[in-house]
Structure 1
Amino acid sequence: MRHTYIPDTTLTEGQRAFRADVRAFLRSDKVRRSVETIRRCPPDREAGPLEVYQWLGERGWLAPNWPERYGGAGRGVAEAAIVTEEMCLAGVPDDAHVLSVDIVGMFLLHVGTEDQRRRILPSIASGERIATVLFTEPGCGSDLSRLTTRAEPDGDGWRLHGTKIYNQKTQFSDVGLCAARTSEGPVPYHGITLFLVPLDSPGVTVRTIENMTNDRFHEVAFDGIRLTESDVVGSVDDGWRLLNEMLVLERTGIDFHAKIRRWLDSVVTEDLLSDPVLAARHAELDAHLRAAHALAWRVITEIGNGRQDPATAAMAKWYVTEQARDVIRFCLDATGLPGLLSSWDPDAPDLGLVEAACRYAPTYRLGSGTSEVMLYIIATSALELL
């Protein structure tokens, strides 16, 4: 398998050196063996806290853009994107990283209290703790304004009632970032508050939802779990604004791009490129992925410069994830029937990468905001069509 590395034209010499160090570590025999063990997990098992995360955490690389006092390396957004990109290119599962570091951790870093940061962030940055996200609800789809989970006043705190669905890594998490309604306002976006919910508390029930990927989804029900002022993230009733500001950081598309790039590169051989039809299709897909990479890094550069434009992020996320379908079709044509063998089959090429990609590819249009929602953001914010 070969890898196409697009020139880091926007990076400094120091950032290029950082990428080289991260790449060398993630290509080491120790990491390769660990990743292979994870990928050979049978379908009835799911990996929990990864030793690779802890190895990265020891170097301050799991959350390199966090301050050193919270377990990071005091670097910038570009270095964080480099780690994400190199993890995905090396086949390291990134879902727990996205949930814990990119979402929960970044919310706390930007709007959490000092007590919350000191309690939660160091153990995330070390790779010892997984945190999950509790936003989506049954019947709400992508519209968080319709959420019905309520945090009802109870003395100097709240009682949480409601159900969240399609949550990942919940069985390995002891804390979740939860959006709940704390008051009624003139519009449904008002009155939403973010809470840190201890998932090992009485009143929390977790049910597993089977799906076609190797990662489990969960339904989490809250039956009056008590929350206090110290569990509020940001300000009461200010959750919608925070969600809109912070989720831009999740929509760079850099992680999706790296995984799709890895799929494409995994099937490229000299024999394949000698076929003019497949070579032409490969060249077209390669061009699309290079454009997707440029869009993703444009968002990262803007964030690094203190600008967070939801429309630019939506463009990148939409364009990147729309490439998944065409790339996986090409991979299937290139590999034929052997490409459908799963990772636990000893004859599977590249540990069943293409077969797994077939199951994961449809989810890319849904994760971090559906393609339809991204197009709506582009239409309203960038093109002013609505």
Structure 2
Amino acid sequence: MDFDVPPESVDFANEVEEILTAPETGRLLQDVFARQDGMDGNPRELYRHLGDAGILAPSWPVEYGGRGADFTATVALLEKLVAHRIPQNLYCISVQNVGSLILAAGSEHQRKTLLPAIASTELTSCILFTEPGNGSDLAGITTSAVRDGTGWVINGRKTYNLKSAYADIALIAVRTDPQGSQYEGLTLFLVPLNAPGVVIRPIPSLANEQFHDIWFTDVHVDEDALFGQVGEGWSLITQMFAAERTGLDYYARGRHWLDLVAERLDEDGRQPSDVVRAERARHETRITASKLLSCQVMQNLQDGNADIAESSFAKWHCSESAQRIAWWALDTLGPDMLEPGSDAGDRTLEAAFREAPGMTISGGASEVMLDILSSARVFDHAPRGD
């Protein structure tokens, strides 16, 4: 792994810092926090502002709305977004997950028409895989798509999906061959969420950002909504997991939370005990390791060497590390941490406590990540005995 950060990425980080500290960004962020939509706050105007500045897809090729930058620019962007309390889930799902899959596996027409709009957030996207009876076991998907002569008709229900109410299109996994094997019968579509027959309802959430239930009733889509080939959905899902599970967003949040705890301790003039200092050092070491694992995954993705086991390990390590930091923050600062205060740090740590339980479930449960890792043939090149 190359540990050098290109000067261009340092310059980009400084540019992002300037944009995020601008008064207009602060005004738009406060509008999100006001939650005037009755849900978790519509971030689209804020993200259009950031998209207009051209900072949301720095590592994409220029012709698709990016800057052609090194992956370290994306790392710097996530760190800055988290540090300035910009909600990240819409960005990660739309740009880093769906957008990156379109970049890697979409048709040239899809790349040219969709990616610049996603990079500017004129078009936002979400992922609809999970169903009421199928979470980690995506091979059990029952939502169906049937040809109707002029396209496809989709019926089914998806649940526990983040940011669906703020998305224009959804990458949805459906079953197109009920007679085939569980894996061979899956297909992906890019479906407009304003299509007749689509109903979206929020699900209350312990964390700041809500989930959604989505029903599809006789939803017609044209043939060009098909993503990839019929029946190759599972291979595309697996390809997307390698990009989705970099762990970068979990690392960035854990890093920020740990910094906030240190600031609170300094502000209060406390003299941390030897135990607290030792625990803080362990968390510092662990979150640094999380960053290195995440960067290794992203470098391999950039080089075209994505590995699902490596990504799964990074996601597991980063989410577990961030969750432990949130629990440790409460143990260290006490219940006062849970009281929303006048400063951003108070609110951020209180939100972290509510978000922490889901970090090792969303994006791939820790148990599933470890199962994938244990099944990987990581010892193929190890010496073998007779």
TM-score (norm 2): 0.90
Structure 1 Cα separation of the partners of residues 136 and 246 of structure 2: 18
Structure 2 Cα separation of the partners of residues 245 and 188 of structure 1: 17
Structure 1 Cα separation of the partners of residues 364 and 371 of structure 2: 11
CA contact (8 A) 1:40 1:351 kept: no
Using the TM superposition, give the Cα deviation of residue 15 of structure 1 relative to its aligned residue in structure 2, in angstroms. 2.3
Structure 2 Cα separation of the partners of residues 47 and 175 of structure 1: 19
Using the TM superposition, give the Cα deviation of residue 328 of structure 1 relative to its aligned residue in structure 2, in angstroms. 1.4
Structure 1 Cα separation of the partners of residues 105 and 139 of structure 2: 21
Q: In structure 1, the residue corresponding to 2:15 is in which secondary structure?
A: helix
Match for residue 320 of structure 2?
Answer: 322
**Where do residues 336-347 of structure 1 align in structure 2 (5 Å cutoff)?**
336-342=334-340, 346-347=341-342
CA contact (8 A) 2:35 2:42 kept: no
Q: In structure 1, the residue corresponding to 2:191 is in which secondary structure?
A: strand
TM-score (norm 1): 0.90
Q: In structure 1, the residue corresponding to 2:57 is in which secondary structure?
A: coil
CA contact (8 A) 1:60 1:72 kept: yes
**Where do residues 36-51 of structure 1 align in structure 2 (5 Å cutoff)?**
36-39=30-33, 41=35, 44-51=38-45
Pick from 166, 171, 175 the counterpart of residue 177 of structure 1.
Answer: 171
Using the TM superposition, give the Cα deviation of residue 126 of structure 1 relative to its aligned residue in structure 2, in angstroms. 1.4
Instruction: Classify 1:75/1:144 alpha carbon distance in 2 versus 1 (closer, same or farther; 3 Å).
Output: same
Match for residue 379 of structure 1?
Answer: 374
Query: Counterpart amino acid of 1:332?
Result: L
Match for residue 334 of structure 1?
Answer: 332
Instruction: Classify 1:38/1:198 alpha carbon distance in 2 versus 1 (closer, same or farther; 3 Å).
Output: closer
Structure 1 Cα separation of the partners of residues 12 and 38 of structure 2: 37
Using the TM superposition, give the Cα deviation of residue 348 of structure 1 relative to its aligned residue in structure 2, in angstroms. 6.0
Q: In structure 1, the residue corresponding to 2:290 is in which secondary structure?
A: helix
Match for residue 360 of structure 2?
Answer: 365
Match for residue 158 of structure 1?
Answer: 152
CA contact (8 A) 2:255 2:322 kept: no
- Deviation per residue, 1:288-310 (Å, 9 max, x gap): 11111111111111112221011
- Deviation per residue, 1:37-63 (Å, 9 max, x gap): 534548943222344422332232111
Match for residue 312 of structure 1?
Answer: 310
Q: In structure 2, the residue corresponding to 1:11 is in which secondary structure?
A: coil
Using the TM superposition, give the Cα deviation of residue 186 of structure 1 relative to its aligned residue in structure 2, in angstroms. 4.8
- Deviation per residue, 1:188-209 (Å, 9 max, x gap): 1111111011111111122221
**Where do residues 138-157 of structure 1 align in structure 2 (5 Å cutoff)?**
138-157=132-151
Pick from 227, 235, 241 the counterpart of residue 247 of structure 1.
Answer: 241
Pick from 78, 86, 98 the counterpart of residue 104 of structure 1.
Answer: 98
Structure 1 Cα separation of the partners of residues 123 and 41 of structure 2: 13
Instruction: Classify 1:118/1:273 alpha carbon distance in 2 versus 1 (closer, same or farther; 3 Å).
Output: farther
Structure 2 Cα separation of the partners of residues 13 and 333 of structure 1: 39
Pick from 126, 131, 134 the counterpart of residue 137 of structure 1.
Answer: 131
Structure 1 Cα separation of the partners of residues 179 and 101 of structure 2: 24
Gaps of 5+ in 1: 1-7
**Where do residues 1-386 of structure 1 align in structure 2 (5 Å cutoff)?**
9-39=3-33, 41=35, 44-184=38-178, 186-268=180-262, 269-270=265-266, 271-272=269-270, 274-342=272-340, 346-347=341-342, 350-383=345-378
Structure 2 Cα separation of the partners of residues 275 and 333 of structure 1: 13
Instruction: Classify 1:273/1:375 alpha carbon distance in 2 versus 1 (closer, same or farther; 3 Å).
Output: farther
Query: Counterpart amino acid of 1:223?
Result: T
More moved, 187-196 vs 207-216: 207-216
Instruction: Classify 1:306/1:190 alpha carbon distance in 2 versus 1 (closer, same or farther; 3 Å).
Output: same
- Deviation per residue, 1:189-232 (Å, 9 max, x gap): 11111101111111112222112122121111111111221000
More moved, 40-49 vs 198-207: 40-49
